[in-house]
Amino acid sequence: MDKQMLKNIAEALNVYQDSVLRKTEELLRLLQAKSSIKSLNNQAKSVLCLDLASQCLGVSFEKDAALALSGLKKSAYQKSLNTLEQILGLNKVLTVSEACVQLSCTAVKDDAEDILSAYKQQRDGLEDWEHPQYAAAAVFLASRAKKLSIDKQKIVAMSRIKPSQWKELLSSFKNLEISNGRQLGKGLEAEIVSEMGECEPVKEVAPDEVEEYAVWRQRILKEAYEALAGRQSVHSDAA
């Protein structure tokens, strides 16, 4: 698929960030080199790679519209997404050590390990610990507690969760009991409170302004189809 067609699909899904498009192109090239999935056409592959690229970079993504544009049923979409994730090596477990190396903050590795260990004990095995969000949060909090500068945007993207979910994740690290003598407790609490303070207040929405889900979904799909059809028509005329 050419770049213009990919851009058309991305815009139909309200994805305009150049970084996401570049990441999608990278994933498509890698997918072509590693595997030829005959059950998926080029448009479906592009939509799925846009989804994965958005996840990698922490960018919001309209799943319902993507599902419609992919031409796949919901179960097939998720199965294909998981398959591509495995083929492209995006399901690798992120460790604290790897996160520290990627973020150039190896000095806080031990502290981050202690934070994550204490968090696991507190949560008592209720989480999927292979998800990268936990290692990312532990490294972030260890760095902030030690006043070490760190690229917040990069680590949030590394966590593979949305910014709003990132705030919720950090709040769940409150009241950790870290018995390692490193005196991280107060520093952690201060940084978590600071992060929570950066949250924008949620705007109250009047009941009559709330759009029902079914109506919203139908509108989003209609707009996505119209946008894609219009851009394809313009592209064809230009050619």
pLDDT at 49: 95
Q: What is the pLDDT of residue 201?
A: 41
In the chain, the domains with their CATH numbers are 3-88 (1.10.472.10), 96-197 (1.10.472.10)
The answer to whether the CB of 58 falls within 8 A of the CB of 23 is no
Tell me the pLDDT of the chain (239 aa) as tens digits: 678 889 999 999 999 999 999 999 999 999 988 877 888 999 999 999 999 998 888 788 888 999 999 999 988 898 898 889 888 988 777 899 989 988 889 999 998 999 999 888 888 766 778 888 999 999 999 998 888 988 888 888 778 787 888 888 988 887 777 655 454 555 566 666 666 555 444 344 344 444 455 566 566 667 666 766 665 565 555 55
Cβ-Cβ contacts under 8 Å for 10 (sequence gap 6 or more): 16, 20, 21, 24, 50
Q: What is the pLDDT, as a whole number, of residue 34?
A: 84
Give the integer Cα–Cα distance in Å for 91 and 104: 22
Query: Across the chain, what does the average pLDDT equal?
Result: 79
Give the position of tokens 């796949």: 72
Helices (H), the chain: 3-12, 18-34, 42-57, 63-70, 74-87, 96-102, 109-123, 132-145, 152-159, 163-171, 185-197, 213-238
